[in-house]
Amino acid sequence: MKHMNALCLAAGLLACALPLATAWSADQQSPRLDPLPAHPTLYPQDSQQEPQQQPDVKTFTGRISKDGQKFVLEDPTVNTPYQLDDQKKAQQHEGKNVRVTGTLDAQNNVIHVHAIDDAA
């Protein structure tokens, strides 16, 4: 009788566990969808791209003069004058020794002017 009870108990446990086991097995075999990779234009996280660096703001000294129709900064330490991108500010200081604060576009020899102050 003890064997019969143990056998019935084992059969009952097996009957309860069988549906759970088949459900788990089916879940393991179903294909899983991986999330889509981030769209490069929406999330620019490409590790191969270097972050764009802003040019350093520097102070340039010299004399503002007119070169043709454009105002330029003549720096006595270099032979090439720097064109100034803010012609209105430059015009106010024509013929004066000044300090120009801005960023240098070395390829085009242009200073992107932040401020122009009279030199002391």
Question: What pTM was computed for the model?
Answer: 0.55
Q: Is residue 50 part of a domain?
A: no
Q: Is residue 42 part of a domain?
A: no
Q: How many distinct structural domains can be found in the chain?
A: 1
pLDDT value, residue 55: 77
Can you point out the beta strands (E) in 1-120?
58-67, 70-74, 82-84, 97-105, 110-118
pLDDT by position in tens, the chain (length 120): 666 666 666 666 556 655 655 555 555 555 555 565 555 555 555 555 556 677 799 999 999 999 999 999 998 888 889 999 999 999 999 999 999 999 999 999 999 999 999 987
Tally DSSP H helices, then E strands, for the chain. Answer: 2, 5
pLDDT value, residue 50: 59
Domain of residue 111 covers: 58-118
Cβ(59)–Cβ(99) under 8 Å? yes
68 φ/ψ sector (left φ>0, alpha ψ -120 to 50, else beta): left
Q: Is residue 49 part of a domain?
A: no
Q: Is residue 23 part of a domain?
A: no
Q: By C-alpha distance, which of 113, 102, 109 is closest to 58?
A: 102
β-partners of residue 70 are 67
